[in-house]
């Protein structure tokens, strides 16, 4: 009996060690959004919980867009579209995976985003269009924490606003033998939304696809991404 317990313990220990030392899953490759959604909806299918002031900003964006005025959208002037909007574009992105950093390289205007692994989010980050991102492995999931966002970007193509207080949490998980990628993200922005909320997106890997050189400044304005 004692011997058996010993065997079980060794097996359990071996299992633990294997988990601890296991290489993280492979997220590398070119990813396309599985289905393009219009205005962002929460995981429960609701409209995001804009506060009253932010609701008027959003309504103004929609009214302007309806009249063909996209001046509220910096992406039409080739400014970086921000996050999570870049994750919601029909154009693909590529993940380059290294032990200390994951690189998201978006087709849109060749924009790079770096996710530094196993580091804390700096407490005082200067605002950037793509913020500042740190990540960690949670089992087989990649969890990315981002803050330090410039408040001129939009959350989605429909023109949802955010403030500099935006804190974005993303959780990425593979499925279908590594060919599908699921993203659940949480928006925490008390200056814009009455409570934090989450939404989802799914991606399909396209092996062998080469992302073309996409240069916004060389693209006519009508063909640029817009709300």
Partner 1 sequence: MAKAQSKAVKNYLKPSVMLSAVLLAATASGAPPPKTLHDSGDPTLALTPGLRGAEKAPPGTPPGNPDPHDLNGVWWLSGYQYLLGPEPGVAPPLKPEYMAILERRIRAKNRGTPEADASTQCLPHGMPRIMESPYPIEIVQTPERITLLHEVAHNLRRIWLNRDHPKHLTPTFLGDSVGHWEGDTLVVDTIGLNDRTFIDDEGSSHSTQEHVIEHIRKIDNGQNLELIMTVEDPVTLEHPYSYRRIYHWRPDVRPQEYVCEENNRNAPVNGVTVAK
> Rule CB under 8 A: which residues touch partner 1?
28, 77-80, 96-98, 103, 105, 109-112, 114, 128-130, 210-213, 215-218
CB contact at 8 A, 153 and 177: no
The distance between the two most distant Cα atoms of the chain, rounded to a whole number of Å, is: 80
- Minimum distance, C-beta of residue 20 to partner 1, in the bound complex (Å): 25
State in angstroms the smallest separation of the CB of 218 from partner 1: 6
Toward partner 1, which CB reaches closer, 112 or 190? 112
Nearer to partner 1, 103 or 137 (CB): 103
Q: How is residue 59 annotated by DSSP?
A: H
Q: How far is the CB of 103 from partner 1 (least distance, A)?
A: 6
Enumerate residues 6+ apart whose C-beta is below 8 A from 181. 27, 31, 172, 173, 174, 175, 202, 203, 204, 205
Q: Which residue number, 48 or 82, has a Cβ lying nearer to partner 1?
A: 82
- Where helices occur in 88-203 by DSSP H, the ranges are none
We find the least distance from the C-beta atom of residue 139 to partner 1, in angstroms, to be 24
Q: Which is nearer to partner 1, 58 or 132 (CB)?
A: 132
Nearer to partner 1, 18 or 120 (CB): 120
Q: What's the residue count for the chain?
A: 227
d(CA 15, CA 19): 6
- Would you say 213 and 204 are in contact if contact means Cβ atoms under 8 Å apart? no
Strand partners, 37: none
Smallest distance, partner 1 to C-beta of residue 25, A: 16
Query: Distance between the two ends of the chain, CA-based, in angstroms?
Result: 69
Nearer to partner 1, 111 or 142 (CB): 111
- Least distance to partner 1, CB of residue 222, Å: 17
CB count within 10 Å of CB 72 equals 17
């Amino acid at each position: 009996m004692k011997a058996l317990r010993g065997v079980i313990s060794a097996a359990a220990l071996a299992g633990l060690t294997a988990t601890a030392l296991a290489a993280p899953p492979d997220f590398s490759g070119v990813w396309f959004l599985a289905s393009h959604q219009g205005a962002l909806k929460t995981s429960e299918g609701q409209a995001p919980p804009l506060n009253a002031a932010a609701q008027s900003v959003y309504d103004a964006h929609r009214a302007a867009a309806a009249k063909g005025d996209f001046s509220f959208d910096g992406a039409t002037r080739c400014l970086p579209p921000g996050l999570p909007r870049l994750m919601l574009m029909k154009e693909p992105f590529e993940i380059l995976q290294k032990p200390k950093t994951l690189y998201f390289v978006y087709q849109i205007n060749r924009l790079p985003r770096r996710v530094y692994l196993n580091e804390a989010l700096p407490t005082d980050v200067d605002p950037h269009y793509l913020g500042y991102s740190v990540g960690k492995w949670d089992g087989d999931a990649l969890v990315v924490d981002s803050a330090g966002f410039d408040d001129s970007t939009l959350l989605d193509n429909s023109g949802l606003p955010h403030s500099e207080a935006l804190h974005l949490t993303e959780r990425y998980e593979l499925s279908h033998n590594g060919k599908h990628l699921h993203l659940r993200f949480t928006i925490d922005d008390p200056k814009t939304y009455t409570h934090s909320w989450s939404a989802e997106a799914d991606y399909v890997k396209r092996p062998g696809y080469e992302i073309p050189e996409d240069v916004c400044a060389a693209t006519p304005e009508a063909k640029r991404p817009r709300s």
